[in-house]
A and B are shown apart, each in its own frame.
Chain A
């Protein structure tokens, strides 16, 4: 499964541990350096798809009784795979002079 941009960011955010919906929205914004701001609709359609693919699962509710989500083992392997794919893309872009090469 190739995650969308929002889904990839949700998976990345969950690498640090379980999160509730609003926490995920904040983390996604922070991880993307403010470039990606997702609303509740985008967030929960992504959560639905990720749950259906067993990349995340629901975990115990937090103190505020909000539903929390955590990364599954499969989710971790998918997010690693996607990160490696992006790394290869960046390497290819550097090779062709699209991005400055690493010093």
Chain B
């Protein structure tokens, strides 16, 4: 196996899009580097391997940053929503009892609120790492209300006014989402949930001081290619 073949095999450590964009050039630079090398083969290869391992690991981590941000965002949102629900119950007033709404508008409204708030959180978080965060958020804003209306047992339970925690047999992702957020019983609960999600998105943004810088990178990057 020639040195070039070994290096070409090492390039597989990089994510596929990066390899497609720069793999050919990297191989060409490697060829030049090898032709002009001034060190022993052992030193040369230890330099090359160190370079490949560190930069490929960095590139892979860069690629999964959005997932870590999304998971962190989801956990923070759920925690904030639970806290808001607790506060709402703690300061409960009988006045709100008459404000209960009918199941179908409730389900639709819940879907819209979830869609908008999750899309808002995605737009804030994914913009730090994804060039198409806006599109992603738009898709969430549209699909979540549809999903809430037409998908899974959790939705039916929500529309029937049942407690999804009691009736869950198949812990689908959507079920877990509904359990995590808690089920508000009226308009004020939905409003509390919306504000909880908006507040958590704001907290996350404030807790990530380099977001502005990264947003700048993303904003700039969308026209780069």
Q: List residues of A whose CB falls within 8 A of some B CB.
A: 1-2, 21-22, 25, 37-45, 47-49, 51-54, 57, 66-67, 74
Interfacial chain A residues near B218, Cβ < 8 Å: 52
Which of A25, A38, A43, A51 makes the CB contact (< 8 A) with B224? A51
- Contact yes or no, A41 B220, CB < 8 A: no
Q: Does residue B28 face the partner (Cβ distance < 8 Å to A)? A: yes
- Contact yes or no, B33 A1, CB < 8 A: no
Question: Chain B at the A interface: mostly helix, strand, loop or mixed?
Answer: helix
The 10 A-B residue pairs with the shortest CB-CB distance, nearest first, are A39-B51, A41-B55, A52-B221, A54-B220, A40-B26, A22-B32, A44-B22, A40-B29, A41-B51, A21-B29
Least Cβ distance of A93 to chain B in Å?
25
- Contact yes or no, B47 A53, CB < 8 A: no
Least Cβ distance of B40 to chain A in Å?
15
Which of A21, A41, A47 makes the CB contact (< 8 A) with B52? A41
Task: Specify the chain A residue showing the minimal Cβ separation from B31.
Answer: A22
**What are 22 A-B contacts with C-beta separation under 8 Å?**
A2-B213, A21-B28, A21-B29, A22-B29, A39-B33, A39-B48, A39-B50, A40-B29, A40-B51, A41-B14, A41-B52, A44-B18, A44-B25, A44-B26, A47-B22, A48-B18, A52-B131, A52-B218, A52-B221, A54-B221, A67-B25, A74-B220
- Contact yes or no, A48 B21, CB < 8 A: yes
Interfacial chain A residues near B29, Cβ < 8 Å: 21-22, 25, 40, 43
Could you tell me the distance between the alpha carbons of A54 and B48 in the complex, rounded to whole angstroms?
28
Q: Does residue B5 face the partner (Cβ distance < 8 Å to A)? A: no
Task: Specify the chain B residue showing the minimal Cβ separation from A22.
Answer: B32
Could you tell me the distance between the alpha carbons of A40 and B34 in the complex, rounded to whole angstroms?
11
Interfacial chain B residues near A51, Cβ < 8 Å: 221, 224-225
